[in-house]
Amino acid sequence: MPRLKKILLSNILPLEELNPRDPRAAPSKAKGDALVKLNEELRETLIYEAKQDASEPAQGLAMGNNIPPLVVCKPPVDLPEHYRSDITSETYVLVDGYQRYEAIRDAFGLGIRVSIKIVETPSLVALMREAMELNSRPQMPLTKGEKLSHVFRLLLLDGIEDGTAWRKQFEGIASRSTLSEYKKLATFARDAANLHDLPFDEAREALREAVREGIGEYVTPRFDSKGFPTKSTISAWREVVETGEVSKWWAIKQAEREKSEAKKREAARSLSAMLAEFAPGERLEVLRRLEAEAKEEQRDAPRDAELSALTRDLKGSSSISQVPPLADLEDEDF
The model's pLDDT over 31-51, given as tens digits with 9 standing for 90+, comes to 455 545 545 655 566 566 666
pLDDT at 10: 93
Q: What is the rounded CA–CA span in Å between residue 320 and residue 171?
A: 30
Q: Which range has highest mean pLDDT (25-29, 136-140, 160-164, 328-332)?
A: 160-164
Mean pLDDT score, 241-263: 90
Alpha helices in 3-97 (DSSP H): 29-53
SS3 281: helix
Q: What is the pTM of this model?
A: 0.68
Average pLDDT, the chain: 77
Contact 313, 225 (CB under 8 A): yes
With cut-offs at 50, 70 and 90, classify the pLDDT of residue 259.
very high
SS3 82: helix
**Per-position b or e across 48-83, b if 16+ CB within 10 A of its CB:** ebbeeebeeeeeeebbeeebebbbbbebbebbbeeb
Number of neighbours of residue 204 by Cβ within 10 angstroms: 23
Lowest-confidence pick of 39-53, 268-282, 311-325: 311-325
Q: Which is more confident, 319 or 257?
A: 257
Mean pLDDT score, 162-183: 71
Is it the case that residue 180 has pLDDT exceeding 90? no
Lowest-confidence pick of 22-31, 76-85, 86-95, 191-200: 22-31
Contact 245, 223 (CB under 8 A): no
pLDDT at 270: 92
Q: Which is more confident, 303 or 57?
A: 57
Is it the case that residue 211 has pLDDT exceeding 50? yes
Is it the case that residue 315 has pLDDT exceeding 50? no
pLDDT at 113: 87
pLDDT at 1: 38
pLDDT at 44: 65
Is it the case that residue 187 has pLDDT exceeding 90? yes
Q: Is 67 left (phi over 0), alpha (psi -120 to 50) or beta?
A: beta
